[in-house]
A and B are shown apart, each in its own frame.
Chain A
Amino acid sequence: MKKTIKVLIVDDEPSILMSLEFLMKKEGYSVFIARDGSEALEIIEKEVPSIILLDIMMPHVDGYEVCRLIKESIRFQHIKIVFLSAKNKEADIEKGYLTGADLYVSKPFSTRTLVAKINTLALGIVSN
């Protein structure tokens, strides 16, 4: 079941990518990886993932921009977006939700909680 759910992980920090990839794969999602915004957009176009774990501070195209583009397009707006960011001020979080995020997770995060939240999101997708 989970095999069909595609998860895209976008972050410019290799060590974070590494850990997230491990966690998602372990949960049985189909995992894709991008190191910055533009790479992410390419993969989205091609694979149309159901969930994106998105870092905000990235070179070239940042997380907000990626999120905005996705939520504006009819084709992709159903994609669940989870912001993963070290920016954890109220204002940042609010901005994240205003841009259209479904979930905002501050770094550093508890792996168990993150996995649980992603799974809940995935359940929603499946039931729909």
Chain B
Amino acid sequence: MKEKLKNQKLLVLGIVFMILFNFPILSIVNHDTKIKGIPTLYFYVFTIWILFIGIIYWSVRNEEQEINKDE
């Protein structure tokens, strides 16, 4: 049961960020402006990337803690 839930959680995570990392979402930030001196597109890609890693870390870490608790 837990296993299935984890699969689904990760699948949804993958799909959501696949959308965030693709067109047409990317076209929203695809213009010649800068955020803190960095081109908006570049800034967006790296920010979302960091966010993505953070969320995976968070969801997997929760999982591990639960497993530890179970033990």
Asked whether any CB of A lies within 8 Å of a CB of B in the complex, the reply is no
